Chains A and B, each alone.
Chain A
Amino acid sequence: MNSETTGTSEEQGKVVRTTSAFDCGGRCPLRLKVINGEIVNIEGDDAPEPEQLRACLRCRALRKYVHHPDRLLYPLRRVGEKGKGEFERISWDEALDTIVEKLTHVKETYGNESIFMALSGGYLGALHGAGGLVKLMSLFGGYSTHYGNVSSEGAVWAVLTQYGSVMVGHSREDLMNSKLIILWGWDPARMISGTNTMYHLIKAKENGAKVICIDPRFNDSGSLLADQWIPVRPGTDAAMMVAMANVMIKENLQDQPFLDKYTVGFDKFKDYVMGDEDGVEKTPAWAAEISGVPEQVIIDLAREYAAADPGTLMDCQGPARSATGEQYIRCAMTLCAMTGNIGKAGGGAGGGLMGIPVGHMFRSSGIPPVKNPAEAGGKSVRGTLDLNLRLQKRMHTNKMFDAILKGKAGGYPADIKLAWFVANNYLNQLGNTNKNAEALKSLDFMIISELFMTPTARYADIILPVTSIAEKNDLTRPWPSGPYYTAINKAIEPLGECKSDWEIACALAEKLGVEDFNPYTESEWLKMFVELNPETGPQIKDNDKFREEGIHRVDLPEPIIAFKKEIEDPENNPFSTPSGKIEIFSQRLSDSDNPLTPPIPKYMSAKEDHTDPLTKTYPLQLLTPHPRNRIHSEMYKVDWLKETHPHTAWINPKDAAARGIKNNDEVYVFNGRGKLIIPAFVTEKIVNGVVAIFEGAWYDPDENGVCRGGCVNVLTLDEHSGGGASVLKTALVEVEPAREGE
């Protein structure tokens, strides 16, 4: 019996076509079987190959998240000490009345700027996310907020510098045209860079492409695909790349006509590479010393990439989430230009973001915003590369807890008294978690909209329970890569008294007396979003069919290739930079005169990298890669997922032996900021001198301040790079056996 024809009576159940809205690069069609208000099983996309888009283990476990016994179902008020997680149930009326009272008090006593909105990507839907709430807070007189995407800011800043565009990717099927694929810090088997990306990669390999994996870890993707693994010391990727440029220049391997025609400033970069600028030639021997990668390996890689016709350098954002992260992305893009691979089928422009302009999340519709009065006046920050200018009005995201603690006296734009956290677990997911907890304790009032009692939620004064994706209708998109659009269809009624973030905003608007805040029904909004969006308007002619199927796929006559028209017809299609060309040298950066963001890409060392004298105390570099069995810290509570991959610290056998650590021993990983306990995974799959702990495990400090949950951010820095990257992969630690109870 086909499940589509089971009818719609409650006992027989129904099948709902939908997708997810997690902070995930994939949007995978799902068919949820629902009986008596409960999802009972999940099937995947039933489109024929090759269009079929297959979900990963996370969404296969979706019902265990939606129906998890720990879901928050009612508004809660804190009754115990902050952080202890002791709450009592209250009514929505009481919760919202309290919020109105506190908002009004803070506004009248300190001004709107003392209200802080902490926003993130935990729910990426067009209607039911935080967009409505921030609009309401603008109508209320304004609020303070933060700047800088935790995931990608280093890459975003770098591509805007060099290309003036964030659409730097190719549609994935173009990988079939590549002869050489370099996975630089990229692990799409784990971090879903668009549904089916790994499948396209294995097809490309089966098609004869050579694959090289460059990563301190022999990562999941590399272990499947790589013909060669080049382990590199964290934070030194840019040195390796600069030395590759040195080899190409010395051996005259660069595509000089391409550089002459499409770029500016290659000569200045060349001066730096050859040592004319600073007296140090950036030879492979120089880079070998820094990166730990043998000289000959760098030489061979440079030759091989220069000779590949075509080759694609896939430089992921991961290594850019570091102290000088944007330099690595800029160096990668410069190599893409030197090899003439930009705008070419099977080639690639680098740039980390890997996005295409069809179905991209950045171009989704949403509640029409209004200007935030608290940010009125001053110089426009639109398009600026000058981070300091942006930080005159906003706190950097990875500095928000420092800003809460220090306020204006610490150089921040506001004294924060009240904070509202929506769709994030920032205590856990930003650097220096122990300090973040202190900051949350210092707030006058804190609200969080959440589905679970997360480590962040434990510090809130009021918790508002939020619906999961199964409990509402919405539109969503994958991060970087269509080519398709997806709809979320309501499968079950809201559990308990849960509301969406949008419904919370509407209820609050009523309490605040804001009229006409929500003039449309849910279905009217969603229809309007489809019709008025410049992409979906012309594409989706039958909205009912789109909603029923949950997906609209776009047929591409040929693969999308970033900057194809800029390369084919540069006269009529200049790059969106001031010079109209690829800016290997940026006049804007030269003018801003900030030593952290030099006008040409460079390798720079930084605090807490392998050169820091602090290595005498904390000799190991810390990596914080994406987890495989949750989306950052979302889905952490789902046992089906936990069981698949135990939470461990990866450590090389040499480093383990030197510390008397055996596989599966409990160890302490610590530095001056924090300490956690975790089982060691002693493995050849990581370069010595480095420890890797996957981000997203939940903070659980014991009475001695040791995190029993293995939240890696107790060890990371609450700092940002010159371009605005959150420094979550530049930190030094030590590891020792945890001999508790002996």
Chain B
Amino acid sequence: MTQLGFYFNQTRCIGCHTCAVACKDWHDHQEATINWMQINTIEKGVFPHLFLAFIAVPCYHCEDPSCMAVCPADAISKRAADGIVIVDPDKCLGREGCEKTPCLTACRSSSPQFGLAPNAKMQKCDFCLDRLEEGKQPICVEACPMFALEIDSMENLQQKYGKQQAAEGFRYSKKIRPAALFTPKPEVFS
């Protein structure tokens, strides 16, 4: 099985949210609570010696997804062809229908999300499946003004960018094995 992965060059990210806005536009997300792409900020140091970094958090489409393991309705699955983790809205019990919505706590990245509609179904980043099927990169990748993102098979990404699996603001987990590679920003203070 090929596992598609997410590459993030942290040394290039300015935290501008262009990827996140492009994501909302492409997927037509009207609700403020829905952010398939999230940007977290890491600030360290004391004036004037500071370190600042950002981390782009889509769904990392883990090889052993914790959300999938805990779903009581088997609504979350991993595509055999490319390892993309998808949710079946017909199977999902919904925000009120699901007793504990365990996917919300299982994922460290807050990738599973529910909208505001009554019994909204879980939704999350799908690597822009519709675009991948057309041979295009996901919209976040196409949008990034700093050319800091890429989606490819993990093998190809490793060949191009090495095997760094952690970055500032992101710890790798051997248990769930997030399909992500990074060029982390070295912690150098101004």
Interface-forming stretch among A102-110, A227-235, A422-430?
A: A227-235
Asked if A55 contacts B134 (CB within 8 A), the reply is no
Complex interface: chain A residues within 8 A of B16 (CB): 56-57, 189, 220, 628
A223 part of interface (Cβ distance < 8 Å): yes
Count of B interface residues, CB-CB < 8 Å: 33
In the complex, which residue of chain B has the Cβ closest to the Cβ of A654? B47
Interface contact B18-A55, CB-CB below 8 Å: yes
Q: Are B12 and A202 in contact (CB under 8 A)?
A: yes
Q: Are A199 and B25 in contact (CB under 8 A)?
A: no
Q: Is B85 an interface residue (CB 8 A)?
A: no
Q: Please, how many angstroms separate the alpha-carbon atoms of A368 and B14 in the complex?
A: 42
Give the chain A neighbours of B134 by CB distance below 8 A.
Answer: 1-3
Contact of A223 among B25, B26, B50 (CB under 8 A): B50
Which residues of chain A in 646-692 are interfacial with respect to chain B, using CB atoms and an 8 Å cutoff? 652-653, 683-685, 687-688
Chain B residues, Cβ within 8 Å of A60: 18, 21-22, 25, 143
Cα of A226 to Cα of B25 in the assembled complex, Å? 32
CB–CB A644/B50 < 8 A? no
| B50 pairs with A684, CB closer than 8 A | yes
Q: Known contacts being A213-B190, A639-B32, is A220 close to B143, with CB within 8 Å?
A: no
Q: Interface code A490-529, partner B: CB below 8 Å = 1, 0 otherwise?
A: 0000000000000000000000000000000000000000
Interface contact A641-B145, CB-CB below 8 Å: no
A199/B47 in contact, CB under 8 A = no
Q: Is the CB of B145 within 8 A of A54?
A: yes
Contact of B47 among A42, A206, A223, A684 (CB under 8 A): A684
Is B76 positioned at the interface, with any CB of A under 8 Å from its CB?
no
Q: Are A198 and B14 in contact (CB under 8 A)?
A: yes
The reply on B13 being an interface residue by CB < 8 A is yes
In the complex formed, the residue of B with least CB distance to A28 is B145
Are A640 and B48 neighbours in the complex by a CB distance under 8 Å? no
CB 8 Å contact bits of B122-155 with A (1 = contact, 0 = none): 0000000000001000010011111100000000
The answer to whether B25 touches A641, judged by C-beta atoms less than 8 angstroms apart, is no
**Once the chains are docked, how many angstroms separate the CA of A49 from the CA of B20?**
22
Residues of chain A within 8 A of B13, CB atoms compared: 224
**What is the chain A residue whose CB lies nearest that of B32?**
A643
Residues of B within 8 A of A645 (CB): 17
The complex places the Cα of A82 from the Cα of B22 at a distance, in Å, of 39
Of B18, B24, B52, B144, which one neighbours A218 at CB under 8 angstroms? Answer: B52
Contact with A57, one of B18, B32, B188 (Cβ below 8 angstroms): B18
Residue A472 lies at the interface, judged by CB distance under 8 Å to chain B: no
- Tell me if B117 is interfacial: C-beta within 8 Å of chain A: no
Residues of A within 8 A of B147 (CB): 49, 54, 199
Are the C-beta atoms of B14 and A221 separated by less than 8 Å?
yes
Q: Report the bound CA distance from A643 to B142 in whole Å.
A: 21
The answer to the question of B46 belonging to the interface, with a C-beta cut-off of 8 Å to chain A, is: yes
Q: Please report the C-alpha to C-alpha distance between residue A643 and residue B43 in the assembled complex, in whole angstroms.
A: 20
Q: Is B45 an interface residue (CB 8 A)?
A: yes
Residue of A nearest to B44 (CB): A684
Residues A226 and B18 in contact, CB atoms below 8 Å apart = no
| A608-659 contacts to B (CB < 8 Å) | 628-629, 639-641, 643-645, 652-653
A:218-271 near B, CB below 8 Å: 218, 220-224, 226-231
Q: Please, how many residues of chain A have a CB less than 8 angstroms from a CB on the other chain?
A: 50
From B26, B28, B143, name the one whose CB has the most chain A CB atoms within 10 angstroms: B143
Check if B15 is an interface residue, CB within 8 A of chain A: yes
Q: 1/0 per position for A1-24, CB-CB distance to B under 8 A? A: 111000000000000000000000
Query: Are B146 and A199 in contact, CB atoms less than 8 angstroms apart?
Result: yes
Q: Are A41 and B28 in contact (CB under 8 A)?
A: yes
Cβ contact within 8 Å between A644 and B21: yes
Q: How far, in whole Å, are A307 and B25 apart by their CA atoms in the complex?
A: 48
Smallest CB gap from B15: residue in A: A220
Q: Identify A231's interface contact among B11, B17, B47, B145, CB under 8 A.
A: B47
Q: How far is the CA of A43 from the CA of B138 in the complex (A)?
A: 11
Complex contact B143–A55 (CB within 8 A): yes
| A640 and B146 contact, Cβ closer than 8 Å, known pairs A189-B16, A227-B190 | no
Judging by beta carbons under 8 Å apart, are A684 and B46 in contact?
A: yes
A643 surroundings in chain B (CB, below 8 A): 32
Whether B145 lies near A684 (C-beta < 8 A) is no
In this complex, the member of B13, B25, B139 whose beta carbon has the largest number of chain A beta carbons within 10 angstroms is: B25
Q: Are B190 and A228 in contact (CB under 8 A)?
A: yes
**Residue from the set A206, A223, A652 with the largest chain B CB neighbour count within 10 Å:** A223
Choose from B25, B45, B46 the contact partner of A61 (Cβ within 8 Å): B25
A601: Cβ under 8 A from any B Cβ: no
Known contacts A54-B145, A222-B190, A684-B43; A229/B17 CB under 8 A: no
Set of chain B residues within 8 Å of A202, measured between Cβ atoms = 11-12, 146
Shortest distance between the CB of A510 and any CB in chain B (Å): 40
B189 to chain A, nearest CB (A): 9
**CA distance in complex: A44, B18 (Å):** 11
Alpha-carbon distance A230/B50, docked complex (angstroms): 11
Choose one: A56, A639, A652; the contact of B18 (CB below 8 Å). Answer: A56
A198 touches B145 (CB 8 A): yes
Q: Bound state CA distance, A694 and B11, in angstroms?
A: 26
Mask for B72-110, Cβ within 8 A of A = 1, else 0?
000000000000000000000000000000000000000
Can you report 26 A-B residue pairs in the complex whose CB atoms are below 8 A from each other? A1-B134, A2-B134, A41-B25, A41-B26, A43-B139, A44-B143, A55-B145, A56-B18, A56-B145, A202-B11, A206-B11, A223-B50, A224-B13, A224-B14, A224-B52, A228-B190, A229-B50, A231-B47, A231-B48, A640-B24, A652-B47, A653-B47, A683-B43, A684-B43, A685-B43, A687-B48
Q: Tell me the A residues contacting B by CB distance below 8 Å.
A: 1-3, 40-44, 49, 54-57, 60-61, 63, 189, 196, 198-199, 202, 206, 213, 218, 220-224, 226-231, 628-629, 639-641, 643-645, 652-653, 683-685, 687-688
**Which 8 A-B pairs rank lowest in CB-CB distance, beginning with the nearest?**
A223-B52, A229-B190, A644-B17, A189-B14, A57-B18, A54-B145, A57-B21, A684-B47
